[in-house]
Amino acid sequence: MSEQGGRSTGHEDDWWGQLYDGATEDTGSAPVPDSLDDRFDSAAGTVNETVGGPVDGPADVERSAGNSSGTPLPAPRPVPGGGTPPVRPSGPRPSGGRTPRPPEGPPPPWPPLGRTTSATGFPAPPDHAPTPVPAPDPTLTDVLADPRAPGPVQPVEPLPSPRGHVGSRPPTYDTEPTTLPAADPHELDDLVPDTVLDGARYGACTLRAASVRGDSARYRGELRRDALLTARFGSGDRALVLVAVATGVRGTPGAHRAAAEACRWIGKAVGLSHARLAEDIRAGRRGDLKSGLHRLTDRTLGRLRAGAAEQGLGPEAYAATLRCLLLPADPECRTRVFFGVGTGGLFRLRDGAWQDIEPKAAQARGGAVLGFGSPPSETPEGDRLTMDLGIPTPPSPYEPAPEPPREPFRFRTSVARRGDTLLLCSPGLADPLRGEAELGAHLATRWSRPEPPGLAAFLADTQVRVKGYADDRTAAAVWEA
């Protein structure tokens, strides 16, 4: 073909004429239809020719030894392993469905072990698959001799379900709360919830604490007089956990407020001195602990007496009992410290039996005993002293009336063992524990399990009722790992 505007060169444009010669017929559709079976047969024949054998079936085109230009086709390449694949026979093939090929004979045998197939080069499979031999059952001697063999599984006794009440007769009051306390719209912060529940795990101990309004207060719509405080001061192994339980005086309008303030003030005092207290507990300085905690407790109760004077009340009208536990977070220290003022309970569950470890109050009654702080019976000069007949002296009208005797300070340190459960509680739970043996047996069964109860289960346990005991209940239990 010449450039645009060029002249024809003659024979150079012959190919153009041959291509677009009008005498040449147009290429149309193939005379034989192209179906899915035809395409499958074509592909199957090509594959089988490669691996060394023809496949009988329909074909739509007759193979020839050469192409349309007369050039002979190249000879088929030999298959690795020996021989030249057989040439597919020429001639038309039926265009119908595929015809199954009859078996040409038994399959060739597998080569001996260690040989490889000629086509793939992979190891040949063995003449016959080996029969698996079942392992013999282990005997009792084999199991006992194997140190990794698991030991016999001990049956676990089911945990007894919590009970609604114990004793010969059910309590008089309803199980659930009945009446809410009256609320002052200007003093809503003064309301106390019916139930408080808390828990934690530090070091080697697990703590569960709950405070519940008594059945009598629930029925009469009175506020809960018990207060509960759980607090952690510090972090890590040097942390110190405080549990404080306080109970206001029955029948006084601000009993719940006095109990809450006692817990709040002792918590602040312990928190400011927690580093020194934790160090004394780990070092076992019992004397320093007792004097220091006595001073902190007196300071807290002194603030309550000052608050009573500001309100124009007597000291006994705005007071509260206060009982506390100190738990170090150090897992190597198992010393538990109890201190406080007032009645309540301190129990220890060991080996399935309850132990009442409430420290006895040492009150000085009467005069000094001879040989233990009393004055000598005579002077150094030999003069004998006048005997005191014990006649009381009338009070002077110019001196203030003496204060009522204060509750003695209680203090105790104990070293916990693995599996122990230490229980600190208010009088609402301590009294029925001492008065109803069935309640103690029920709680001992429930709390002697390897794992401590959850919060909900612990709350249900503390609410097991006994007829004749309807005061508020507050309990804090510590399980030793």
Dihedral sign computed on CA atoms, order 440, 441, 442, 443: positive
State the SS3 of 408-453: CEEEEEEECCCCCEEEEECHHHHHHHHHCHHHHHHHHHHHCCCCCC
pTM of the model: 0.61
Neighbour tally for 303: CB within 10 Å: 15
End-to-end CA distance of the chain: 102
Report d(CA 123, CA 447) in Å as an integer: 68
Decide: 359 and 341 in contact? Cβ < 8 Å. Answer: no
> In the 8-state DSSP scheme, what is residue 72?
B
Taking the CB of residue 22, how many other CB atoms lie within 10 A of it?
A: 5
CB 259 within 8 A of CB 227: yes
- Residue 383 exposure: Cα atoms within 13 Å on the Cβ side: 4
Question: Which of 225, 226, 224, 214 minimizes the C-alpha distance to 174?
Answer: 214
How does pLDDT run along the chain (481 residues), one tens digit per residue? 555 555 555 555 666 666 655 555 555 555 556 677 777 777 777 766 554 544 444 444 444 444 444 445 555 555 444 445 554 555 455 444 455 555 555 655 655 554 444 444 455 555 555 566 666 665 545 544 555 555 555 555 555 566 677 877 778 888 888 899 999 999 999 999 999 999 999 878 999 999 999 999 999 999 999 999 999 999 999 999 999 999 999 989 899 999 999 999 999 999 999 999 999 999 999 999 999 999 999 999 999 999 999 999 988 899 999 999 999 999 999 999 999 999 999 999 999 999 999 998 654 333 333 333 445 555 566 555 555 555 666 666 666 655 666 789 999 999 999 999 999 999 999 999 999 999 999 999 999 998 999 999 999 999 999 998 999 999 999 999 8
Strands 465-466 and 165-166: parallel
242, amino acid identity: L
Helix (H) and strand (E) counts in the chain: 10, 13
> How much is the pLDDT for 143?
45
Rounded Cα distance between 233 and 278, Å, is 10
Residue 435, CA atoms < 13 Å, CB-side half-sphere = 12
Q: Of the candidates 192, 190, 243, 226, which has an alpha carbon nearest to the alpha carbon of residue 426?
A: 226
What are the C-alpha distances in Å from 28 to residues 21, 25, 31, 32, 95? 16, 9, 9, 12, 21
CA atoms of 255 and 349, how far apart (whole Å): 31
Rounded CA-CA distance 240/74 in Å is: 95
Q: Estimate to the nearest angstrom the gap between the alpha carbon of 475 and the chain centroid.
A: 23
